[in-house]
Amino acid sequence: MNDAQAPASPAPTRAERRAARLNDPRLDRFRSTTARRRLVVVMAALIALEGIALALSGLPDDPVLALVCAGAVVALIIGFVFCLGAVKASTRGVEELGPDQLDERQMQVRGVIYAQSYKIGSGLVTALLAAIVLWSMLVGTKPPSTVVIAILVVSFHLTIVLPTLVAAWHERV
């Protein structure tokens, strides 16, 4: 064995591979402010349509409509996953990568993003839960279970993606 051989470089960590994948130049078409904001609007529309389809799936006693709504929910979730990947690539993962993968400016932007996400998320969850209470007060009955499920699923999806959406909407990402 030759002593002059350089030691093998260590394999990249999972975070390094993730950062490299999110910084792929092939995804540059998603990185302009306009493209990022369009993706945010598409994500919001997908979440809203998913909530509507879930709510409609059990309102009438029509099994065909329930089946169509279930198929729509599955298709919307598949679209949601692909669109979420594009949004994450458009922000280069500033909202999810570890501090060792980000520079000082990105860390500052991430702090602003999480602060804004917390404020927006708190307001949205409060509004969605208030919708359930108001339904009970104004209609006089509790909302159908599919409406409650739709509100909970929309709240859950918003909680998962809100930092990414705020990052994509932000000017300085």
pLDDT in tens, 125-167: 888 888 888 888 888 777 788 888 888 888 888 888 898 899 8
pLDDT of residue 6: 57
Do 50 and 154 contact (CB within 8 A), yes or no? yes
If one counts the domains in the chain, the total is: 1
Q: Which domain holds residue 70?
A: 29-169
pLDDT of residue 137: 87
pLDDT of residue 79: 93
Q: Which long-range contacts (CB under 8 A, 24 or more apart) does 141-149 make?
A: 144/55, 144/58, 144/59, 145/58, 146/54, 146/55, 146/56, 146/57, 146/58, 146/59, 147/55, 147/59, 149/54
Residue 22 inside a domain? The answer is: no
Residue 9 inside a domain? The answer is: no
Q: Count of H helices and E strands in the chain? A: 5, 0
Q: Which residues contact 8 (CB under 8 A, 6 or more apart)?
A: none
Residue 142 inside a domain? The answer is: yes
Checking if the pLDDT of 49 tops 80, the result is: yes
pLDDT digits (tens, 9 = 90+) for 71-113: 998 999 999 999 998 888 888 777 777 777 778 888 888 888 8
- 129 alpha carbon, distance to own chain's centre: 20
Residue 23 inside a domain? The answer is: no
Residue 85 inside a domain? The answer is: yes
The better pLDDT of the pair 120, 15 is held by 120
Q: What is the pTM of this model?
A: 0.77
Residue 12 inside a domain? The answer is: no
pLDDT of residue 64: 83
